[in-house]
Amino acid sequence: MDRLNRSSINMLSSAAGYIVPMFVNLLTIPFLLSGLGDAAYGIQSLVAVIIGYLTFMEMGLDLPVTKLLAEDRAKNDTKAESYLLSTTLQLYGIIGIIGMTVIILLSDVLVLHIFKVPQALIPAALTVFQLAGIGFLGSVGLSWGRAVAMGMQRFDLSYSVSAIVSSVGALGGLGAVYAGYGVIGYVTVRVVLSLMAGPACWLLTYRALPDFRFRWGLHRLTLHRVKAYLGYGILNRVTSSLFSRLDQTLIGAWLGVAAAGVYSVPFMLVNSLGYMIAYMLGFIFPMASELHGLGQMDRLRDIFTRATRFMAALAGLIYIPLFVFGDLILEVWVPGIAQQATSVLRLLALSAYISALTASLTNNIVIGVGKIRQFTVYANIRGLVLGLLCILLIHPFGLKGAGWALVLAGFVDVIYLSKVLHNYLNMSRMELFKSAYLKPLILGVGLAFVSFACRPLAASWVGLGCVFAGLSFSYIIIGYWFGVYGETEKRAVIGILNMISDSFNRA
């Protein structure tokens, strides 16, 4: 399979791996809010926050796993490949057990001293946060599987697992709520399914890598290979753990778990879309590593330009309608919290749009070409800026303060992109703007005007669906006519359709 088709499959798999569970989770939210109430829903939303705080224990192992596995496979070094996967899998297992123990032991402190939990929900919150410890073990297993799949450039493997686990977990958890088991039942179902993700990734890896032989023990040479990344990896993880979910933590501590529940709805919507966009082009990371190692920087710059143009067009198609129709979406989706959540949804959409244009793809390039120190500096500066803004803005301005903190932190991303273009890719900022950003931005402005004109038609689910379908179809057609999408994108789409057709014919 050639690079274009493999990249197309990776992009499609990444998108499907986020779109399917995202829609399932979004569909279940109104029923969960109704079945649990704002406060209990806020408690379950903080489970992901707690798990996120201990991701620093992973020490950034996913980066060397992906990068080194891609290099080993390019060299056809099956022995180094086996040692790498075996050693890192055992490291992930140790990390998962330690993290699980820490969260369970700290559950009392979290419930009684950190978050503002209503008195009647304290017993349930204690159990839920203890379950979060077990959930951390499951998330670590999935992290290893995702890193391996990225290194193999087989995104379909890990995303098929994560899509099934997340979707079935959401539906099964909702069933537990309506069966009378409340928030404890919901979290229990999701935790049990997350524990199945690691073994599933393990089995898929065995099938996809027939020469892989598991070896007990931590291989010294492999540890030495990985060690070069761990210092920066730990620093990145600590910064990410402290600041990436600080907004939700401060809301839960200062405004209460009910407010955290309200905030989590627009946050989950925008965050899911952001991850979908970022991971659709996640294959750029191992590809950048490969091309940089081969000295093919001209080819890497060309791929970066085309991928940036595609990213800008896709971000406009998603976030501009979300900004324009945000209040209408919330009114028909979660009317009970629509008034509280509308402003923050628009701010989060604006923040995600800036990030998609500037940082999502850039991070893959920087890490792929081995500039891990420079990425660490950027990540820490951005984390500190975001943390300071959250502390300054959330207490006086509430949920809107969290949204503004994320928007203002986006200026760090703009500066970061400028530095990367000049220092590491030797690209002209103006040339990139003309070749990658100008046409998608013009197309986006047109989409915004048409979207505002269509607002009266989008007062129901049917109206929203018809308007979104019409806008999306028109946007894509005009994008092709306007030159936003080139011949490569057309060949990629045709290649995917041919592969799908061949699969059906074989079946």
**pLDDT tens, residue by residue, 436-464:** 999 999 999 999 999 999 999 999 999 99
Average pLDDT over residues 383-387: 92
pLDDT at 9 over 60: no
How far lies 114's CA from each of 95, 133, 260, in Å?
Answer: 24, 17, 13
pLDDT at 209 over 90: no
Instruction: Reduce the DSSP state of residue 283 to 3 states and report it.
Output: coil
pLDDT at 124 over 90: no
pLDDT at 145 over 70: yes
Specify the pLDDT at position 500: 46
Specify the pLDDT at position 485: 73
Q: How confident is the model at residue 17 (pLDDT cuts 50, 70, 90)?
A: low
**pLDDT tens, residue by residue, 219-264:** 888 888 877 666 666 666 666 666 777 888 899 889 988 888 899 8
Higher pLDDT among residues 267 and 242, named by residue: 267
The single-letter code of the amino acid at 457 is: L
Average pLDDT over residues 114-140: 83
Q: How far is Cα of residue 89 from the mean position of the Cα atoms in its chain?
A: 22
Least confident stretch, 123-127, 229-233, 383-387: 229-233
Least confident stretch, 162-171, 301-310, 312-321: 162-171
Least confident stretch, 164-178, 316-330, 382-396: 164-178
Higher pLDDT among residues 420 and 196, named by residue: 420
pLDDT at 88 over 80: yes
Specify the pLDDT at position 507: 43
Highest mean pLDDT among 198-207, 245-254, 379-388: 379-388
Higher pLDDT among residues 202 and 248, named by residue: 248
Average pLDDT over residues 199-209: 75
pLDDT at 433 over 90: yes
How far lies 105's CA from each of 126, 216, 249, 359, in Å?
Answer: 11, 30, 19, 37
Higher pLDDT among residues 271 and 440, named by residue: 440
Q: How confident is the model at residue 87 (pLDDT cuts 50, 70, 90)?
A: confident
Average pLDDT over residues 179-204: 83
pLDDT at 5 over 70: no
pLDDT at 168 over 70: yes
Specify the pLDDT at position 15: 61
Q: Is the dihedral of CA 119, 122, 124, 125 positive or negative?
A: positive
Q: How many beta carbons lie within 10 A of that of residue 113, not counting itself?
A: 9
pLDDT at 46 over 80: no
Highest mean pLDDT among 83-97, 146-160, 298-312, 400-414: 400-414
**pLDDT tens, residue by residue, 353-371:** 999 999 988 888 887 787 8
CA dist., res. 327 & res. 330, Å (int): 5
Average pLDDT over residues 128-152: 81
Nearest to 128 by CA among 257, 309, 279, 262: 257
Say which residues have a Cβ less than 8 Å from residue 122's Cβ, sequence separation at least 6.
111, 112
Specify the pLDDT at position 504: 47
Nearest to 316 by CA among 305, 324, 304: 324
Q: In the block, which residue shows the tokens 């919901």?
A: 186
Least confident stretch, 85-94, 121-130, 138-147, 228-237: 228-237
Nearest to 149 by CA among 70, 263, 241: 70
Q: Is the dihedral of CA 322, 405, 419, 362 positive or negative?
A: negative
Mean pLDDT over each residue of the chain, to the nearest integer: 82
CA dist., res. 43 & res. 126, Å (int): 10
Specify the pLDDT at position 307: 87
**pLDDT tens, residue by residue, 487-497:** 655 655 555 44
